[in-house]
């Protein structure tokens, strides 16, 4: 891309209108308008930010970066490469979008919301310890949580770091199930917090991060692109 300019056929391919040769046919048939004018030349340059490109009546908006939510299944590692285990990046290889990486890590046995993107600055903001981005987990515990444990978690517990954990929000979901909202992302944080109150995690699932909720229609292993609104939520979630 030169500045913000891209060949029209490449632009249409990147927006998944079709392959390069399909796109050329669509252009020839007059299905594409740029700023209200039908354009048939594939080599025509478009400004991806300023020009309005309409394909069969649908306005196409160009995204510099890709954003997906994955419902991470257990048994898959939160990395892009691994010599022995399946990685979350491999689960998204059919997107055809290279360079996707997970925003933070979930343990191999943890399920749930994992944001996958190639937008390094958004990832950096969401993961910055100074931003205190909310992360919501649902956990099945070994024991019912006592009132005292809830209080301790709400005020901060010692997990062996320099300082106690920041106050967490605890919701009792019945039996041994809880919903926990934390604003830090220390290694194995939820498991270590439960250990600090003499309990244990049987299963763990993240349902939200930075205001973005896991789409419950996604089964473990499934993913989808984020909507413009969801991206805006994340941009706000990671704001200073």
**With contacts defined by CB under 6 A, how many residues of the chain interact with ligand URA?**
8
In this complex, which beta carbon is closest to ligand URA, that of residue 80 or of residue 95?
Answer: 80
CA 26, CA 105: separation in Å to the nearest integer? 42
Among 190, 196, 226, 234, binds ligand URA (CB under 6 A): 190
CA 142, CA 182: separation in Å to the nearest integer? 20
In this complex, which beta carbon is closest to ligand URA, that of residue 48 or of residue 193?
Answer: 193
Binding piece for ligand URA, criterion CB under 6 A, among 43-51, 104-112, 113-121, 207-215:
104-112
* Strand 201-209 versus strand 111-117 pairing type: parallel
In this complex, which beta carbon is closest to ligand URA, that of residue 125 or of residue 135?
Answer: 135
Contact characters 9-28, ligand URA, x per CB under 6 A: --------------------
Query: DSSP labels for 136-162?
Result: EEEEEESSPPPHHHHHHHHH----SSS
Asked if 5 contacts 49 with a C-beta cutoff of 8 angstroms, the reply is no
Give the nearest distance from C-beta 80 to ligand URA in angstroms. Answer: 17
CA 10, CA 121: separation in Å to the nearest integer? 25
Give the nearest distance from C-beta 194 to ligand URA in angstroms. Answer: 8
Q: What is the dihedral of CA 114, 204, 166, 121, to 10 degrees?
A: -10
Decide: residue 174, CB within 10 A, 0-12 exposed, 13-18 middle, 19+ buried: exposed
Annotated catalytic residue: which of 47, 82, 107, 134?
107
**Phi, then psi, of 194 in degrees rounded to 5:** -70, -35
Give the nearest distance from C-beta 186 to ligand URA in angstroms. Answer: 8
Is 107 annotated in the active site? Answer: yes
Question: If binding is defined by CB under 6 A, does position 113 make contact with ligand URA?
Answer: no
In this complex, which beta carbon is closest to ligand URA, that of residue 53 or of residue 114?
Answer: 114
The residues binding ligand URA (CB under 6 A) are 106-107, 110, 188-191, 204
Q: Provide the annotated active-site residues.
A: 107
């Amino acid at each position: 891309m030169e500045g913000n300019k891209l060949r029209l056929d490449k632009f249409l391919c990147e927006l998944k209108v079709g392959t390069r040769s399909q796109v050329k046919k669509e252009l020839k048939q007059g299905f594409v308008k740029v700023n209200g004018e039908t354009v048939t030349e594939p080599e025509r340059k478009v400004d991806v930010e300023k020009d309005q490109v309409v394909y069969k009546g649908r306005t196409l908006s160009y995204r510099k970066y890709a954003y997906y939510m994955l419902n991470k299944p257990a048994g898959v590692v939160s990395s892009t490469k691994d010599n022995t285990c399946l990685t979350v990046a491999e689960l998204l290889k059919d997107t055809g979008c290279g360079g996707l990486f997970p925003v933070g890590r979930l343990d191999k046995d943890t399920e749930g919301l994992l944001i996958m993107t190639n937008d390094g600055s958004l990832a950096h903001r969401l993961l910055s310890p100074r931003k205190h981005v909310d992360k919501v987990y649902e956990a099945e515990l070994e024991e019912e949580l006592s009132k005292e444990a809830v209080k301790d978690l709400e005020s901060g517990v010692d997990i062996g770091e320099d300082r106690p954990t920041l106050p967490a929000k605890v919701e009792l979901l019945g039996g041994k199930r809880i919903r926990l909202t934390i604003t830090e992302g220390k290694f194995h944080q939820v498991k270590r917090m439960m250990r600090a109150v003499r309990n244990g995690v049987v299963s763990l699932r993240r349902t939200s991060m930075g205001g973005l909720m896991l789409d419950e229609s996604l089964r473990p292993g499934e993913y989808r692109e984020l909507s413009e609104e969801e991206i805006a939520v994340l941009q706000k979630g990671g704001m200073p």
